[in-house]
Each structure stands twice: as C-alpha cells, then as structure tokens.
Amino acid sequence: MAGGNVQKKSASKVYITGGASGIGLELARSYLRSGAEVTLFDIQPMESAVEVLAALAGPASIRTFAMDVTKPGGVREAFASAAESSPPDLVIHCAGIAIAADFEAIDDDAYARVININLVGTRNVVAGVLPHLKAGSQLVLVASMAGLVGCYGYAAYCASKYGVVGLAEVLRIELATRGIDVSVVCPPEVETPMVEAERLNRPRQTEALKLMAGTLPLNDAVAQIRKGIDRRRFMIIPGWRARGLWFTNKLLPGYWTRTLADYLVSRSSQS
C-alpha cells in the first residue's frame, strides 16, 4: 500500500461525486475549511450546495460539473474538463442510491438501476478519473456496512456495495505500483437525505438489523471518515458499533452476525 497509515499532507484539490447533499456535501465543507479547492460532480442541481459552501470559501474555491455516473462517456468528459485547469490529488466517490424491500418486491428495472448506479457507476468514475491521478494522490470509494454484512431488504444494495468493496480491494493492489492510495469507506446508517427517504417504506426487519451497526449523525460520521482519509487507511469504518460488528464478523466469520440477524428478523416479523 502506497500510503499505509502514515499521515501525509492534506489534499489541496478535492473532487467529490455525489457532492450535492449528504456525506458528499459535508465532506466538501470539511475540505473547504481546510483551505482546499473543491470540485463537485452530481446529477442533481448543485446551486443550493454551492450557496451553503460559499459561506466557507470564496467562489474560486468551489467548482461544479454535471455528471451522470451511468454514462461513461459523460463521466470521462466531466473529469477531463475539470482536470484541464485543476487536476485532483484526492477523489471521493459518494454517488449512490438505496432500495430497501424484500427481494421479490424489487422488480427487474429497480434492481438493475441500483447495480448500474452503485457498482457500474463506481467503475465508470474510477475509469474516468484515473488518467488524471498522479503518484501521491488518493482515490476514496464510499461503500457501506452493507458491503461487509448482509441486511434484510438490501438484496440489490448489498450486492452493489459488496461489489464496490471488492473493486476497492483490487484497485488497492493494482494502483499501489503507481503510488496512488485507495480507501474504501463502509459507514453504518448515517443521517442523510437518502436515509430519511428510505425510512418511509423500508421493512421492519431492515429497521431491526440496522440496530446492530447503529446510526451516526452526519457530522460525526464525516469527521471520522475525514480522519481515515487523512491517514490514508484502506478500510474506513466510522462508528464504534459498526467497527465492532466488522471485527466480530472477521473473528467469527458469519456465525455471530447470522445468528443475531436471524433472531432480530424473527422477532421483528412477529411484532
């Protein structure tokens, strides 16, 4: 691993996909406070995000580019345009969606959409930005605890995020020879607009299993994520309960988490 746990100079030019809201927007705040130039990429309108961020830095420190991560050509063009005048030393890929429903309730199109945005979209982002990354830079992929531990109702989401973790593992090995560090972030539930929308319709069993890893306020989650990025850790898991779940799952592969999951699902199904 190029960087290991050695703390390096904080990034000065940061690209963030999915930067219009949630974890991406809060990370943008954090880096602007540190004096970095931040470039946001999102399919959603970014005017509100820029208005919020402008209070922290001058307009020259914030740039925005429209991006649909499912369109590889458009992704390449957006990164090429951004990098022409200001190539990144840190790229954080946050864009993603979630669906929480029983497997049989997720139709073909909905399942494909989750995989296409979360997994194929991650591939497109990596492929599009790699030509602009030099030795000493860092690539951060935001996955989820659902990429490490299965969860009821997340047949599509878990499949996509397990894939992101696997991709990060491969990229860590391959890019180390080029001096590029790779990190993967696997947070538990974080209080974001995406999670708030998901809660409206998700199964009771999903709600019960979420208790295992806990829920973090957005500010706390991002502070811990930022610390892991600055230290160039490969696996970044904010929240002590989430880290405990991960370590337990590693020590007792599958047994403890599956036993507890079965119990919680059974209990919530009867309520």
Asked whether residue 141 carries a pLDDT value surpassing 80, the answer given is yes
Which carries the bigger pLDDT value, residue 255 or residue 187? 187
Range among 82-96, 184-198, 244-258 rated most confident: 82-96
What pLDDT does residue 137 have? 98
Q: Which residues pair with 154 in a beta bridge?
A: 101
Q: What is the pLDDT of residues 7-55, one digit of tens each?
A: 456 789 999 999 999 999 999 999 999 999 999 999 999 999 999 999 8
- 9 burial via Cβ count (<10 Å: 0-12, 13-18, 19+): exposed
What pLDDT does residue 264 have? 63
Structural domains of the chain, with CATH: 13-270 (3.40.50.720)
What pLDDT does residue 271 have? 60
What pLDDT does residue 59 have? 65
Asked whether residue 114 carries a pLDDT value surpassing 70, the answer given is yes
Q: What is the pLDDT of residues 244-257, one digit of tens each?
A: 888 887 776 666 56
Q: What is the pLDDT of residues 63-86, one digit of tens each?
A: 999 999 999 999 999 999 999 999
**Hey, which residues are catalytic here?**
157
**Exposure pattern of 94-130 as b/e (b: 16+ CB <10 Å)?**
bbbbbbbbeeeebeeeebebbeebbbbbbebbbebbb
